[in-house]
Amino acid sequence: MRIDKYLWCTRYFKTRNKASEACKKGMVRIGGQVVKPSREVLPMDEVQLRKSQMNLSLKVLDIPPQRVGSKWVGIYRRDTTPAEELERFKMVQTSR
C-alpha cells in the first residue's frame, strides 16, 4: 500500500490529498529517508511524521484493507512517539 493511502487509512490525515502533500513537502520519512507519496509501506516499517508542529513516530504492524474506524487503528500501527515530544506539545498548547 502507498504511504499516503496508509496515513489516510490509519486516520493521520483527513484526506489522501493532505497525506500526499505532506509527503511532497518532506514531512514523512520511512527509516530516516524522506519518501514520495507513492512509496510502498510494509509491515515493520518505522515511519516518522511531522504534523501540527509535532514529530510523530509509528511502527507499521499490518496493512489495512480500507480506511478503518478510530477504535481499530491500533491493529495496524503502534505509536512510538517519545513521551518527551508529547509533553512538549501539551505544554505549548496550554501556554496559548
DSSP letter (8 states) at residue 60: E
Per the DSSP assignment, residues forming a β-bridge with 40 are 2
DSSP letter (8 states) at residue 72: G
Q: What is the pLDDT of residues 32-46, one digit of tens each?
A: 999 999 999 999 999
Q: What is the pLDDT of residues 4-30, one digit of tens each?
A: 999 999 999 999 999 999 999 999 999
Judge contact between 30 and 3, C-beta under 8 A: yes
* pTM for this predicted structure: 0.86
Rounded Cα gap, residues 78 and 52, in angstroms: 19
For residue 35, what are the contacts with CB-CB under 8 A and spacing of at least 6?
3, 23, 28, 29
